[in-house]
Amino acid sequence: MNTPTKLAAARFSLVEKRPYFAAALWSIQFVSSPGLGTIGIDQWWRVYYDPAKIEMWTHAELVGLLYHEIGHVLRNHAGRAKSMGVGPLNNRAWNMCADAEQNLAILTEKFTLPDGGGIVPATLGQPAGLLTEEYYSNLPKKTINSPGG
């Protein structure tokens, strides 16, 4: 199955499992980004993906990843980061905290994510059930202010 077909199948599966996300899932645009090494979404609802990585992931993992990516825009992580004063220096730390918040929810709902679920609260040494802002505020300052951190 080719990459666009795999992405379409994942979108259909997620709409079937979570019909209340249908409008959001039909609003995203897929953008092929060879060499990216992952999949990601921007605040303008564009999902960037590396075709080579898409081919490596199972259907179940793609459904989970699509759920993860749409969660970033539905939870307004970009706007919330801005309100917290998160800038380019500490954007990676913010994203890790946002991932921890939503990956735990996705895994609790019995969806599949690659690599055992990615970043979860325990990865950050933090308890489950907090918001991104709380995880971020609890990070050691050296983590937040480190290059790429």
Position 149 scores a pLDDT of: 45
pLDDT in tens, 82-110: 999 998 777 889 999 999 999 999 999 99
Is the pLDDT at 146 greater than 60, yes or no? Answer: no
Looking at residue 33, the DSSP 8-state letter turns out to be -
Residue 147 pLDDT grade (very low, low, confident, very high; cuts 50, 70, 90): very low
Does 48 score more than 80 pLDDT?
yes
Beta carbons of 50 and 33 less than 8 angstroms apart: yes
- pTM for the whole structure: 0.90
Please report, for residues 51, 57, 91, 127, 133, the alpha-carbon distance to residue 77 in angstroms, rounded to integers and kept in the order given: 25, 25, 11, 20, 10
